[in-house]
Chain A
Amino acid sequence: MTIEARFKLSRSGFTLDVDFQLPGHGVTVLFGRSGSGKTTLLRAIAGLVRVPDGRLHVNGQVWQDGPVFLPTYKRPLGYVFQESSLFPHLTVQGNIEFGWRRSGKAPFSAQEPIIQLLGIEGLLKRKPEYLSGGERQRVAIARALMTRPRLLLMDEPLAALDQERKNEILPYLERLHEELKIPVLYVSHSAEEVARLADSIVVLEQGQVLSSGLLSDVLSRLDLPIRMGEDAGVVLEACVTAHDSQWHLVKVEFPGGSLWVRDTGVPMGRNVRVRILARDVSIALDQIHRSSILNTLPARVTAMGDESHPALCLVRLDAGGVPLLARLTKRSVATLALSPGMPVWAQIKAVALIL
């Protein structure tokens, strides 16, 4: 169960040259700046762009190889475009039925779990022009999923929306993430969407794969965070194990320790993600007890790398097997004489809880 892709494409001033394998399940984010070739790659995978001599195998099925080129309409895929792509002359239901009928399915039913999951059962009779931007994208996602695709491709589905609308859709995407059994390729340049949705990540730069792998491995690499700037940081998988109702905090545990986080109403035992930005982690050589900082973890320095600004430095830590990143000034590194292997205390000023 894998996706194997190899594409080489030269256009005026741009070269796409990728050769990679992706897991056949979970969400893989294609991450990179605009112009890095993410969308071109996604369109090549969908067959919307024909890349000569490309090769694409999806879970054992040949989509493109040598003379074989399956046209887009014969590929069992779902595609969610960046901007609203609903057919304006059809109602929401008409839009959904368009793909549903062509995938040879039984009569349409509003009771379909996907309709319920995306919360659009109340919109079926409306025309797209009477929907908000967020509603349109939810309908577009439902329309793509109702064809029962074997691969879901999403091209920055939130990029055209404002922050409020993004916050409206992200919970739906997170629920999809939990319930979908098919692989999802999700193009994004937003570190927040990566932290919330990705299982794996492929980082693209100027048409090349810079790094790819599991999210936790890729995010804690020292050469990559430079490119994420202020958003450099790690994402940990954790579990809610305690509530502190007096101070409105919850305790989340992960293999390397535990953290106290603001209580946002998550139930006990729930698996969550926590995101810790490198700029929110500082380092002390001794455990400091009289401090406002709630979370300190014992850790070990594993590596040091450059930051985009010459004054700064990224330090990679290992906290009980879990990688952390800390952004420090080079002066502090020199003052503390930090070097790989040194035991330190990581002081974590802020932790973002992601469901």
Chain B
Amino acid sequence: MPDASDAAAIWLTLKLATLTTLALLVLGTPLAWWLAHSRTWWKGPIRAIVTLPLVLPPSVLGFYLLLTMGPDGLLGRLTQSMGLGLLPFTFWGLLVASMIYSLPFVVQPIELAFEAIGNRPLEVAATLGASPLDAFFSIALPLARPGFYSAATLGFAHTVGEFGVVLMIGGNIPEKTRVVSVQIYSHVEALEYAQAHWLAGGMIAFAFLVMLLLHTFSPNQQRL
């Protein structure tokens, strides 16, 4: 049976994934809009950077994040000068790392949804007296809703499933940075296979549910 430390790990994981997803939806939407509508040449490099976490080994990402957030890193100096202390081995450090790690999973579905809408509905809205901001909220957001469902589901699930970055940035501190994936690793290392089964099996069920949800709401499944 799962014990108190397992429950704490589950709670921490859910908290991390929820906050990461919400923050990414808020910050990723303007970025996705810009990627879908801008025509500047540096859109290509920016898109490449956004999608870099898709192909980088998590340990590489974690390593450089650790250096950046450290006492001599750019972000580390910033957080220290703001009186926030250092981010590594804290929940907030984990949150920042997760946001970077899951960024492409949130930005890409939203960008694709905005691209699929095209310019025409926004032009129509303009001829009906809607300012660009008005048209964004009244037309673009509702039409892109399937993209937001995909983005939220993928971002959440991907954050739940991360391991390498969490280990590099968060370490393995109970109730602070020990998420489910790390907890499973600890169980296996301690040869607590029964406990590992509970969590690992739970993750399989969770992943199945996520994929089921995703296919139910993804745009190309929206048929009459």
User: Do A and B bind?
Assistant: yes
- Residues of A whose CB lies within 8 Å of any CB of B are 46-48, 71-74, 77-79, 81, 85, 87-89, 98-99, 102-103, 129, 143-144, 147
Among residues of A, the one whose C-beta sits closest to the C-beta of B132 is A73
**Do A147 and B120 have beta carbons less than 8 Å apart?**
no
- Given contacts A85-B120, A87-B121, A89-B143, whether A79 and B138 have CB atoms under 8 Å apart is no
**Do B129 and A99 have beta carbons less than 8 Å apart?**
yes
Label chain A's interface by main secondary structure: mixed
- Chain B residues 120-149 with CB under 8 Å of chain A are 120-121, 123-132, 134-135, 138-139, 142-143
**Do B129 and A102 have beta carbons less than 8 Å apart?**
yes
Among residues of B, the one whose C-beta sits closest to the C-beta of A100 is B128
**Do A78 and B129 have beta carbons less than 8 Å apart?**
no
Question: Residues of B contacting A47 with CB < 8 Å?
Answer: 126
In Å, the complex CA distance between A85 and B134 comes to 18
Question: Residues of B contacting A78 with CB < 8 Å?
Answer: 127
- Residues of B whose CB lies within 8 Å of any CB of A are 120-121, 123-132, 134-135, 138-139, 142-143, 224
In Å, the complex CA distance between A81 and B123 comes to 10
- Given contacts A73-B129, A143-B128, whether A87 and B139 have CB atoms under 8 Å apart is yes
Question: Residues of A contacting B138 with CB < 8 Å?
Answer: 98
23 A-B pairs, CB-CB below 8 angstroms?
A: A46-B127, A71-B126, A71-B131, A73-B126, A73-B127, A73-B130, A74-B129, A77-B127, A78-B127, A81-B120, A81-B123, A81-B124, A85-B120, A87-B125, A89-B143, A98-B130, A99-B128, A102-B128, A129-B224, A143-B128, A144-B127, A144-B128, A147-B129
Label chain B's interface by main secondary structure: helix
Question: Residues of B contacting A147 with CB < 8 Å?
Answer: 128-129
**Do B124 and A85 have beta carbons less than 8 Å apart?**
yes
Among residues of A, the one whose C-beta sits closest to the C-beta of B117 is A88
Question: Residues of A contacting B126 with CB < 8 Å?
Answer: 47-48, 71-73
In Å, the complex CA distance between A215 and B129 comes to 32
Question: Residues of B contacting A129 with CB < 8 Å?
Answer: 224
**Do B127 and A88 have beta carbons less than 8 Å apart?**
no
Question: Residues of B contacting A81 with CB < 8 Å?
Answer: 120, 123-124
In Å, the complex CA distance between A74 and B142 comes to 23
Question: Residues of A contacting B139 with CB < 8 Å?
Answer: 87
**Do A72 and B123 have beta carbons less than 8 Å apart?**
yes
**Do B124 and A79 have beta carbons less than 8 Å apart?**
yes
How far in angstroms is the closest Cβ of chain B from A11? Answer: 15
Scoring A47, A71, A72, A143 by chain B CB atoms within 10 A of each residue's CB, the highest score goes to A72
Scoring B126, B128, B129, B132 by chain A CB atoms within 10 A of each residue's CB, the highest score goes to B128
Question: Residues of A contacting B128 with CB < 8 Å?
Answer: 73, 98-99, 102, 143-144, 147
In Å, the complex CA distance between A79 and B126 comes to 10
**Do B124 and A72 have beta carbons less than 8 Å apart?**
no
In Å, the complex CA distance between A88 and B146 comes to 14
Question: Residues of A contacting B135 with CB < 8 Å?
Answer: 73
**Do B124 and A73 have beta carbons less than 8 Å apart?**
no
Among residues of B, the one whose C-beta sits closest to the C-beta of A95 is B128
How far in angstroms is the closest Cβ of chain A from B155? Answer: 23
Among residues of B, the one whose C-beta sits closest to the C-beta of A96 is B128
Among residues of A, the one whose C-beta sits closest to the C-beta of B143 is A89
Having A73-B131, A102-B130, one finds 4 other A-B pairs with CB under 8 Å, namely A73-B126, A74-B129, A79-B124, A85-B121
A-B interface, 9 closest residue pairs, ranked by CB to CB distance from nearest: A99-B128, A102-B129, A79-B127, A72-B126, A73-B126, A85-B124, A89-B142, A73-B131, A73-B129
Question: Residues of A contacting B123 with CB < 8 Å?
Answer: 48, 72, 81
Among residues of B, the one whose C-beta sits closest to the C-beta of A101 is B129
Question: Residues of B contacting A143 with CB < 8 Å?
Answer: 128
Among residues of B, the one whose C-beta sits closest to the C-beta of A85 is B124
In Å, the complex CA distance between A102 and B135 comes to 11
In Å, the complex CA distance between A79 and B125 comes to 10
Among residues of B, the one whose C-beta sits closest to the C-beta of A140 is B124
How far in angstroms is the closest Cβ of chain B from A336? Answer: 54
Question: Residues of B contacting A71 with CB < 8 Å?
Answer: 126, 131
Question: Residues of A contacting B120 with CB < 8 Å?
Answer: 81, 85
Question: Residues of B contacting A77 with CB < 8 Å?
Answer: 127
In Å, the complex CA distance between A288 and B157 comes to 89
Question: Residues of A contacting B129 with CB < 8 Å?
Answer: 73-74, 99, 102-103, 147
Question: Residues of A contacting B224 with CB < 8 Å?
Answer: 129
How far in angstroms is the closest Cβ of chain A from B168? Answer: 43
How far in angstroms is the closest Cβ of chain A from B30? Answer: 21
Among residues of A, the one whose C-beta sits closest to the C-beta of B131 is A73
In Å, the complex CA distance between A143 and B124 comes to 11
In Å, the complex CA distance between A349 and B79 comes to 90
In Å, the complex CA distance between A341 and B130 comes to 59
Question: Residues of B contacting A103 with CB < 8 Å?
Answer: 129
Among residues of B, the one whose C-beta sits closest to the C-beta of A146 is B128
Question: Residues of B contacting A72 with CB < 8 Å?
Answer: 123, 126-127
How far in angstroms is the closest Cβ of chain B from A153? Answer: 8
How far in angstroms is the closest Cβ of chain B from A256? Answer: 42
How far in angstroms is the closest Cβ of chain B from A146? Answer: 9
